[in-house]
A and B are shown apart, each in its own frame.
Chain A
C-alpha cells in the first residue's frame, strides 16, 4: 500500500507541472507583461515609465521564460516563470498584485469556508440518502415516479434562484437571520445557518436522484435476492443489506469532494459576504488579480489530486476486495 501511495504521489508531480505550464501559457502567451500592466493601470495611453514601474514592483520585469543575461542557473531562475510558477511547488504563493501575502490570506480564509462547506456536505448527504432510500423503498409506485419528477424539477432550478429566493424569504420577509456577514466564534452561527440550509436544499434534487440510482443498482444484485429468499422483510433487506453495500460508492463519491471543501463555494460565499476562499477567488477575479487566480488554480489542482488519492485509499479501506499494489 505504501509503495502504491508513493507511486501515486510521484505521478502527481508531472500533473502539477502540467497545470503550472498551462496556467503560465494562458497568462503570458496571449498577453505580454506589458499588456497586463497596461490593463491594470487602466489607461490605454499610460507612459512607458509607469508600465516599467508597475512591472518592477510586481515582479514582472524579468524575462518571461529564459534570461539570457544571467549566469548559470540564473538563466532559468531569474525569470517570471520561475518566480511566479515554480515557487508554488513549495507553497510559496508570493504577493498578490495588490501587495498582500497570499499564503497568509489563504490560511486565514479557509476556516470560514470550511465552516460552511462541512455542515452543508454532511447534512446534505444524510438528507439525500434518507430521501433516496425512501424513494427506493417505494420503487415502481407513484411515490417513486413523482419523487423523481420532483428531483428533476428541483435540479432544473438555478442555484442563483435558491440563494436569492432564500435570502429574500428568510432574511427580508421573515427577518429570521441576517442577510449577509460573518462573525468569529459562536456568533458565526446565525450567519452560517442560512447558507448551509440553502446549500443543502439546492443539492437535494441532483443528490437524491444520484443516490436513488445507486440504490436501485444494488437492489438488482444477487445478494438481495438471496436475502429475500431466506425470508427477510423488505425493510431489513433495504436498510441493512442494501444500505451497507451502497455506502461504498456513496462514500468514495464523498471522499473525492473532501479536499475541495477548502476551496469553499464561490456563489454562496460571495452572496452571503462570508470571508472564505470562495469569495477570495471571486475578489481576485473581479479585481483582475492574476497572482491570486494563479495561486488558487494551483491550490485547487493539488486538492483535486489529493481527493483522487483519498478515493483510492478509501476504496481499499471499506471494500476488502480492492487491494492497492
Chain B
C-alpha cells in the first residue's frame, strides 16, 4: 500500500517544477547561454554527477509504502504492517535487516565489546563474540584481507566494464547523429570541443561507479562503516540521511520562494507604504536571531505534538511533520536576504524604459511585474537557491545537535553526529559513525558549493563583464 508523506509530495512537486523550468529554459536563448557555460565547466559537471547520485538516492527514498504483512489464511482484506518503508529500503534490505548487537568497527568480524561466551565444553570466558552477519562467511580473521581485496577488485572490474559500455553506447548514439565512426565519437566525447564537458562527466561517473559498486558488494558481506550502539548498520543510516539533507536543502527554499519573490518585487515596484510595510516585516523577522526563532518554534511544535499525539497514525508521520515544519521555519528565517535583493533590483527595474513603455501602453501593475520584472530577476532567484542549499544542509546538523532539528527518530547526519559524539571518550574510540556522517555531508556540500559557484559566475552579468 503506497503511503504519501507531506515531504514526499513536495519533493516530487519540486522535481516536476524543475523539469518544467528546464523545458522552459531550453526554449529561451538568454537562459540557455548561461547553462551552456555551466555545461562546459569541468568542475560543475563533475559536481553535478555527484549531486545526481545523491538526488537519485534521495528520490528512491521518497517513495514510501507499507509492505503487506504476513497475512493469516482467513484474513478477508489485505493486512499491512505498521512500518513504513521506502523503495530504497527495499533495495538495500540486506543492510537494514542485518543488525548486530551493538558497536562494531568497519569490516570487523567481532563485536566492539567483550561478552560472556559459553564454549562448547561448558566453560565460560569473556571474549569478543563473532558478528552475526559481518564477515560471517569467513572461518577466521586471516582470510579477511584477501576476501575484501578480491571482492573489491571484482566489483571495480564490473563497474569499469559497465562504464565502458556506457561510453560505447553514448559514443554510438553520438556517432549515429553526427554520422561519425563510433571510435571517433568516443574519442570526441573525451575531447575539448563538446557542448557538455564529456570528459568530466565520464571520469566522475567512472569514479562514482567504482566506489558505489565496491561499497555495494562489500556491504553485502561486511558492515563497511561499522554498526552503531544498537547494532544498526552505519552505511544504511548515512544512505537514509541523504533524503533528510536534500529535503531540508531544497524544500526550505521552495516554501520561502513565493513569499520572497512576491514581497520583494512588490516592495520595490510599488514603493511608498507597501515598501514601508514589507521592509518593517523583514527587518522584524531578521532581527530575531534565527537559531532562537527556530528553537522557539520547534519547542512549541513539540508541546503541540505531545498534547495531540493521538492525531498521528504513526511515529514516521509525526517525524515527517516535524521535518516539514523545520523546513517551514527555516524558510521563514532565510527568505529576508533574497527579499532584500529583489527589492533593490525591482527598484532599479521600475524606471527602466521597457517598463515605462509597458505602463504607457496601459499594462496593469501585476502584468508588468509578472511579464517584465520577474523574468529579469530570475537569475538572482536561481543564484540564491543554489547558494543556499549547502548552508541549509550544514545547518541541519547543527540544529539537530542543539536538539531543535529533525525528530530524533529521523535518520539524519545531525542525529548521527549527535549520538556518536558521546562515544568519543571510549577507548578504543568509536569513530566510524562520526566519520561516515561527516564524509557524506562533506561530499554533498562540496559538490553543491562547487556547482553553485559555477552557476553564479555564469548567471551574474556583473561578474561576467568584469571578467
Contact = CB atoms under 8 A, between A and B. Distances in A.
B284 A293 contact: no
A152 B453 contact: yes
Interface in B261-286: 280-281, 283-286
A38 B291 CA distance: 25
A30 B283 contact: no
Given A285-B295, A285-B402, A22 B446 contact: no
Contact of A297 (B292, B302, B402): B292
B294 to A, nearest CB: 10
B417 A160 contact: yes
Interface residues of A, number: 48
Interface residues of B, number: 45
Q: Is the interface of B mostly helix, strand, loop or mixed?
A: helix
B296 interface: yes
Q: Is the interface of A mostly helix, strand, loop or mixed?
A: helix
A242 to B, nearest CB: 15
A19 B283 CA distance: 10
A208 B441 CA distance: 22
A167 B424 CA distance: 10
Contacts of A35: 303-304, 307
A35 B299 CA distance: 12
A20 to B, nearest CB: 10
Contacts of A297: 288-289, 292-293, 296
A10 to B, nearest CB: 13
A36 B306 CA distance: 10
B449 A15 contact: no
Interface in B390-426: 390, 394, 397-398, 401-404, 417, 421, 424
B289 A18 contact: no
B280 A14 contact: yes
A158 B286 contact: no
Interface string B291-332: 111011101111110110000000000000000000000000
Nearest to B453: A152
Contacts of A286: 402-403
18 contacts: A26-B296, A31-B304, A35-B307, A36-B303, A160-B417, A160-B438, A164-B434, A172-B424, A263-B289, A285-B295, A285-B299, A285-B402, A285-B404, A286-B403, A288-B303, A293-B292, A293-B299, A300-B288
Interface of A: 14-15, 18-19, 22-23, 26-27, 30-31, 35-36, 38-39, 44, 152-153, 155-161, 164, 167-168, 172, 220, 260, 263, 266-267, 270, 281-282, 285-286, 288, 290, 293-294, 296-297, 300-301, 304-305
